[in-house]
């Protein structure tokens, strides 16, 4: 089987922006990532072997001169030293461990944080595409997919909804995601399709790469500084690196209520807005309006980016609710990149432990959520985290 990942930029922007920040602030930090499958599916026989082959192919990926020019020109908030580093970066397959026990897949990644941070998104994309290749699922035809994309573009246009593609991790395939980005880019009113999180696709279609940070940025801060200081230190360190660029704060790592205690007037003014990734979006909207008002900030000057299991119809309803209250935009993932007639895999790869010096013990990493039951980490550490935060 030919390589599925064909560009080092076939990854989401937030992995590169975190990589840059980690290089600057935590160059000695090591992390462990763990694959978590929430879908009740069995992987076909030989899946791990094929996945290992695909991972091995990735060692040959290098940033081309053309990719270097595109990325560095589009994302000037990352300085030249980072792009010089990335120009020499390569994937090391020995950082990835893959085991298959009957139909169950185990996958772990371990290494220096700045090196292994790029693995998560392409690994999930590989698992998804390889699974559907090996199970030979029947999907919608090319014409049906194009009609589906056209229908969604028409809905966004009619309702004046701003949308970005966030679909890399659970896409059906690269080709399907590429088709979708091309269709939305050509059919949506100028300014409504604001870009894609996938840097490679952004280059292919001359779009803006979209993204800031992932939950791991805050959860590793929790392991280093303690749960009560996690949000504050994560916000402050991000500002120190990006000086106001990439100004969307992620709110739900330890629940939004805990986040808002750290999101004081300084950060509320500095950051352009927040991202909602779990919980009830309407409850979240009211909380943010109340918070900004209490800080003496006009909520209509700030933006909420919604990114939790969205469909076009759900985005339209949320926008109606936001109208005149607060600005909004939408990052839609699986519904755009894997709406082809199969059931997408419900899976994540999360940081589960870290260490900041070679001679100290590994520290458990946890992530909570505004959704009950979506916590990740060891149950004992999750309980401790909730106890410390009075949750």
Question: Could you give the domains of the chain?
Answer: 13-138+347-366 (3.20.140.10), 142-337 (3.20.140.10)
Output the pLDDT for position 329: 98
Mean pLDDT of the chain: 97
Measure Cα distances from 134 to 56, 137, 360, 386 in Å.
18, 8, 42, 41
278, 369 contact by CB (below 8 A): yes
Q: Please check the confidence at residue 131 and state whether its pLDDT lies above 80.
A: yes
Output the pLDDT for position 1: 83
Output the pLDDT for position 87: 95
Q: Please check the confidence at residue 90 and state whether its pLDDT lies above 80.
A: yes
Q: Please check the confidence at residue 223 and state whether its pLDDT lies above 90.
A: yes
Integer Cα distance of 57 and 68 in angstroms: 21
Secondary structure of residue 146 in the 3-state scheme: helix
Q: Please check the confidence at residue 133 and state whether its pLDDT lies above 90.
A: yes
Tokens of 112: 């220096």
Q: Please check the confidence at residue 357 and state whether its pLDDT lies above 90.
A: no
């Amino acid at each position: 089987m030919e390589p599925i990942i064909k560009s080092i930029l076939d990854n989401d922007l937030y992995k590169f922006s975190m990589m840059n920040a980690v290089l600057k602030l935590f160059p000695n930090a090591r992390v462990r990532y763990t694959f978590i499958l929430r879908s009740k599916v069995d992987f076909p026989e030989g899946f791990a072997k094929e996945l290992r082959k695909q991972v091995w192919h990735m060692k040959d990926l290098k940033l081309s001169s053309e990719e270097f020019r595109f990325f560095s020109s589009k994302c000037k908030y990352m300085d030249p030293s980072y792009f010089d580093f990335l120009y020499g970066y390569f994937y090391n397959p020995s950082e990835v461990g893959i085991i298959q026990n009957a139909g169950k897949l185990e996958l772990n990644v371990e290494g220096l944080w700045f090196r292994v941070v790029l693995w998560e998104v392409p690994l999930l994309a590989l698992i998804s595409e390889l699974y559907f290749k090996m199970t030979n699922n029947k999907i919608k035809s090319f014409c049906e997919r194009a009609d589906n994309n056209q229908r969604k573009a028409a809905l966004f246009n009619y309702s004046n909804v701003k949308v970005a593609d966030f679909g890399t991790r659970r896409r059906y395939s690269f080709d399907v995601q590429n088709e979708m980005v091309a269709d939305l880019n050509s059919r949506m009113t100028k300014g409504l399709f604001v870009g894609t999180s996938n840097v490679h696709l952004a280059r292919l279609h001359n779009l803006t790469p979209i993204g800031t940070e992932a939950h791991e940025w805050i959860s590793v801060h929790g392991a280093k500084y303690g749960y009560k200081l996690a949000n504050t230190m994560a916000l402050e360190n991000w500002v120190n690196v990006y000086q106001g660029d990439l100004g969307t704060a992620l709110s739900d790592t330890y629940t939004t209520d805990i986040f808002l205690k750290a999101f004081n007037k300084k950060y509320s003014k500095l950051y352009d807005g927040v991202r909602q990734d779990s919980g009830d979006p309407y409850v979240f909207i009211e909380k943010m309006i109340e918070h900004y008002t209490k800080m003496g900030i006009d909520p209509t000057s700030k933006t909420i980016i919604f990114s939790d299991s969205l469909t076009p119809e759900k985005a339209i309803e949320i926008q109606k609710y936001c109208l005149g209250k607060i600005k909004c935009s939408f990052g839609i993932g699986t519904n755009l990149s894997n709406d082809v007639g199969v059931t997408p895999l419900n899976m994540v790869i999360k940081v589960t432990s870290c260490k900041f010096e070679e001679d100290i013990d590994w520290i458990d990493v946890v992530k909570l959520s505004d959704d009950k039951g979506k916590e990740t980490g060891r149950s004992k550490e999750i309980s401790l985290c909730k106890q410390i935060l009075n949750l």
